[in-house]
Amino acid sequence: MAKLHENTATELLRMLSAGETTPVEVMATYLERIGKLEPKIHALTFVNKDAALKEAERAAKELKGAKGKKKPLLGMPIVVKECISTTGIQTTCCSKILQGYIPPYDATVVTRLKQAGAIIIAKSNMDEFAMGSSTERSCYGPTMNPWDVNRVPGGSSGGSGAAIAAREAPLALGSDTGGSIRCPAAYCGVAGIKSTYGRVSRYGLVAYANSLEQIGPITITARDSAMLLEVIAGKDIADSTSVDVPVDKYSQGIASLEGLKVGIPKEFFGEGLKADVKASVEKAVDKMKELGATTQEVSLPSIKYALPTYYLIAMCEASSNLARFDGLRYGLRVDVPKGNYDAMFSKTRQEGFGPEVRRRIILGTYALSAGYYDMFYVKALKARTIIQDDFKKALAKVDVLVGPTMPTTAFEIGTKVDDPLTMYLEDILTVPINLAGVPSLSVPVGADKAGMPIGMQVMGNFFKEQQVLGVGMALEDVLQFHKKLPPLAGA
Rg (CA), the chain: 21
* Catalytic status, residue 156: yes
Rounded distance, CA 411 to CA 314, Å?
24
* Catalytic status, residue 138: no
Residue 75 is classified by DSSP as T
The DSSP bridge pattern shows strands 400-404 and 261-265 to be parallel
SS3 263: strand
Neighbours of 373 (CB within 10 A): 13
* Residues 453 and 444 sit within 8 Å (Cβ to Cβ): yes
Rounded distance, CA 233 to CA 200, Å?
5
Rounded distance, CA 126 to CA 171, Å?
16
Q: What is the dihedral of CA 343, 346, 349, 352, to 10 degrees?
A: -40
What are the φ/ψ torsions at residue 396 (nearest 5 degrees)? -80, -20
Rounded distance, CA 214 to CA 192, Å?
12
Neighbours of 61 (CB within 10 A): 10
* Residues 157 and 218 sit within 8 Å (Cβ to Cβ): yes
Residue among 156, 302, 319, 442 flagged as catalytic: 156
CB proximity list for 79: less than 8 A, separation 6 or greater: 43, 44, 120, 121, 122, 123, 124, 159, 160, 163, 164, 168, 169, 171, 172, 173
Rounded distance, CA 357 to CA 206, Å?
14
Residue 86 is classified by DSSP as B
* Residues 127 and 179 sit within 8 Å (Cβ to Cβ): no
Rounded distance, CA 151 to CA 136, Å?
10
SS3 138: coil
DSSP characters over 190-208: -EEEE--TTSB--TTBPPS
SS3 391: helix
Rounded distance, CA 158 to CA 175, Å?
10
Residue among 180, 242, 319, 442 flagged as catalytic: 180
DSSP characters over 347-378: HHHHHHS-HHHHHHHHHHHHHHSTTTHIIIII
* Catalytic status, residue 249: no
CB proximity list for 67: less than 8 A, separation 6 or greater: none
Q: How far does the chain reach from its first CA to its final CA, in angstroms?
A: 16
Active site residues: 81, 156, 180
